[in-house]
Structure 1
Amino acid sequence: MNTQQLEYAGFWTRTGAALIDGILLLLITAPLLISIYGWEYFETEDMVLGPADFLISWVLPAFATVLFWLYKRATPGKMAVAAQVVDARTGATITVGQAMLRYLGYFIAMLPLGLGIFWVGFDRRKQGWHDKIAGTVVVKRTNTGPEPVRFN
């Protein structure tokens, strides 16, 4: 992408992408968890019910997210809003280390009542704490609608 055609993806764009990703993740993991643990899975207060739960709820999402960032520069939600996660200094694809730091950074960003996530709405480069920790930014093409507006 030409950098003159890019802008930082803002809070609402990223929120939309996160909602899409969350729904897709639920559509994949819920049937697996229900088939193993039954509907009671959703009634427990335990963080992890067993090894299958740990793999399906924690390992699989982390692995898939990191792979999407490395090979597509975006999760399906970010693809839907035409956004990409890139290195903040070069605009290149992020490294494995950056991807892992970014994913772990989400947990840090969520600790103080999600302040690190809401930070995207106030930051000049639209970086959340997870982006700052990993040295990443989320960008999208300017004018990403189906067609630019033109008046005769």
Structure 2
Amino acid sequence: MHDENLEYVGFWPRVGAAIIDSLLLIMVTFPIIHFVYGDAYWYTDSLILDPLDFVINYIFPAVAIILFWVYRQATPGKMAISAKIVDADTGHEVKTSRLILRYVGYYVSSIPLLLGLIWVAFDSRKQGWHDKMANTVVVRRKDRSPRPVSFDN
């Protein structure tokens, strides 16, 4: 399938979307962490304090992100840049099992100095390693403006 109205979303727009998503997650998780653990949490050397800490910082974000992908084909950050995640072969919605694989792929992509994420900048279809693992692409309409700009003379 070839759609002239769509384009692959490149590195910098995806970085912007990731920043938006990260800020939103911080706005939700930090108050909960502070409520549960107090100021002492911010001064500990432990990566994970206990099972609840793991749920708040790892499980909740994973579930939230995957649910956005399943029901909206995008996280809030991707929605802000008018992007969506689709099957790389058909352009259709992606099965939940592959979206879970895509999420796990974020970790795989991050381990070697973020190389799998930076790969988006150099790949012809703008796929990171997580996209390649799940056979997905991130696309958006070329013409995203609500209407053409015009000025009265």
Question: Common fold, TM-score beyond 0.5?
Answer: yes
Q: Which residue of 1 aligns with 2:117?
A: 117
43-52 vs 133-142, greater mean Cα deviation: 43-52
1:148 & 1:115 partners in 2: Cα distance? 38
Q: Is 1:33 aligned with 2:33?
A: yes
2:121 & 2:5 partners in 1: Cα distance? 21
Q: Which residue of 1 aligns with 2:99?
A: 99
1:45 & 1:140 partners in 2: Cα distance? 41
Query: Which structure has the larger Rg over C-alpha atoms?
Result: 2
1:122 & 1:147 partners in 2: Cα distance? 32
Identity %: 51
**How many residue pairs were aligned?**
151
Give the deviation of 1:135 after TM superposition: 0.5
2:27 & 2:149 partners in 1: Cα distance? 36
Give the deviation of 1:65 after TM superposition: 0.7
Give the deviation of 1:150 after TM superposition: 6.5
Give unmatched runs, 5+ long, in structure 2: none
Q: Which residue of 2 aligns with 1:45?
A: 45
1:67 & 1:33 partners in 2: Cα distance? 22
Q: Specify the code of the residue in structure 2 equivalent to 1:136.
A: T
Q: Specify the code of the residue in structure 2 equivalent to 1:68.
A: F
Alpha carbon RMSD of aligned pairs, Å? 1.7
Give the deviation of 1:4 after TM superposition: 2.0
2:25 & 2:119 partners in 1: Cα distance? 24
Q: Which residue of 2 aligns with 1:72?
A: 72
SS of the equivalent of 1:124 reads: coil
61-70 vs 38-47, greater mean Cα deviation: 38-47
2:139 & 2:42 partners in 1: Cα distance? 36
Q: Which residue of 2 aligns with 1:145?
A: 145
Pairing of 1:128-143 with structure 2 (within 5 A): 128-143=128-143
Give the deviation of 1:113 after TM superposition: 0.4
TM-score, normalised on structure 1? 0.93
1:14 & 1:147 partners in 2: Cα distance? 24
